[in-house]
Amino acid sequence: MSATLLLPAMLLDAALGEPKWLWDRYPHPAVLMGRAIGWADRRFNRGGHKRLRGAATMAALGLAAMTLGWLIHIVPDFGLLEIIAAAILLAQKSLVQHVRAVADELRLSLPGGRRAVSMIVGRDTANLDEPAVARAAIESAAENLSDGVIAPAFWFLIGGLPALMLYKITNTADSMIGHRTPRHEEFGWAAARFDDLLNLIPARLTALLIALTHGWADPRPILRDAPLHRSPNAGWPEAAMAVILDTALSGPRAYHGEMRPYPWVWPEGNRTPTPDTVDAACAALWRAWAGMFALAAVIAVF
């Protein structure tokens, strides 16, 4: 039944995205999750045994999210609320819009491109040249396709709305407290590790969908380059996106004024991507989305 509900949810998200008129009036569920995580961080990230405190906090948040998903699931409405909730928690159209905005702004001016890409990446953007802006947008597209679309859809297929809610609260927690900083190294350990676990299969599925929907059947460059990424999962969709666009991704970049010597992914690819390359990445997002939709349709039939 989950596959049958996922299909209209994916279509609803693809058609409407995140309507500004709605979320300007009411807090988005992801915002509410962020508030809950922020409160837990302020309340429990203190004293000793921070790793244990963080694990207990993550367990409580996950249980609460799953319970809410289950309560929505048992409403006798033929799955309508589940479809709406799943559509809200998917992010295909909004992802494409944010990535395409980088290409549009970059065509007008480099400062505009920098401002647009700063909305979707965490690296320093003030000194990026045009290829670096385009590359950052493409990398964000690949990684967020996995985190924001394929992984939520995958977990909805596996366990319905409770599993999707568990994934979203974990992914949100990882983005907020899963960093290796003095404050969150211990308290956010459980969130970061659980997020890695939940993304283990979806990240590789995302790479497969990107490759197959573009006719790329040689896994060797993806298998070679994906492990080079600092993340155990983000390298897979990024490596797949790099080879189908024939564009070198990752490479050195700055965070908080400090250069990080990250290796190149698909180093033999073009190192001067343009706004047109970003547009091609947006088209790749829709192809991969269509691949996931087709997979869900097959599961729904059988």
pLDDT, tens digit, 9 for 90 and up, residues 138-197 = 999 999 999 999 999 999 999 999 999 999 999 999 999 999 899 999 999 999 999 999
Q: What integer pLDDT is reported at residue 72 of this predicted model?
A: 97
Residue of 162, 148, 171 lying closest to 34 (CA atoms): 171
Q: Rounded CA gap, 22 and 118, in Å?
A: 24
DSSP assignment of 3-18: HHHHHHHHHHHHHH-S
- Residue 280 CA to chain centroid, in angstroms? 18
Q: Average pLDDT, stretch 44-64?
A: 97
DSSP assignment of 156-211: HHHHHHHHHHHHHHHHHHHHHH-S-STTTTTTTHHHHHHHHHHTHHHHHHHHHHHH
Per-residue pLDDT band at 238 (split at 50, 70, 90): very high
CB atoms within 10 A of CB 254: 15
- Token digits for 170? 């974990």
Domain that holds residue 40: 2-301
Could you tell me the CA-to-CA distances from 177 to 44, 109, 186, 202, 276 in Å, in that order?
Answer: 12, 34, 10, 22, 35
Amino acid at 280: A
Residue of 231, 287, 278 lying closest to 99 (CA atoms): 278
For 66-149, strand residue ranges (E) read none
- Token digits for 214? 């573009």
Q: Rounded CA gap, 294 and 288, in Å?
A: 10
CB atoms within 10 A of CB 106: 22
Domain total for the chain?
Answer: 1
- Residue 1 pLDDT greater than 80, yes or no: no
Average pLDDT, the chain: 96
Q: Rounded CA gap, 41 and 200, in Å?
A: 25
Per-residue pLDDT band at 281 (split at 50, 70, 90): very high
Q: Rounded CA gap, 77 and 53, in Å?
A: 38
Amino acid at 169: I
Per-residue pLDDT band at 257 (split at 50, 70, 90): confident
- Residue 256 pLDDT greater than 90, yes or no: no
- Token digits for 177? 């407290």
- Residue 200 pLDDT greater than 90, yes or no: yes
- Residue 43 pLDDT greater than 80, yes or no: yes
Amino acid at 129: D
Per-residue pLDDT band at 230 (split at 50, 70, 90): confident
Secondary structure (3-state) at 251: coil
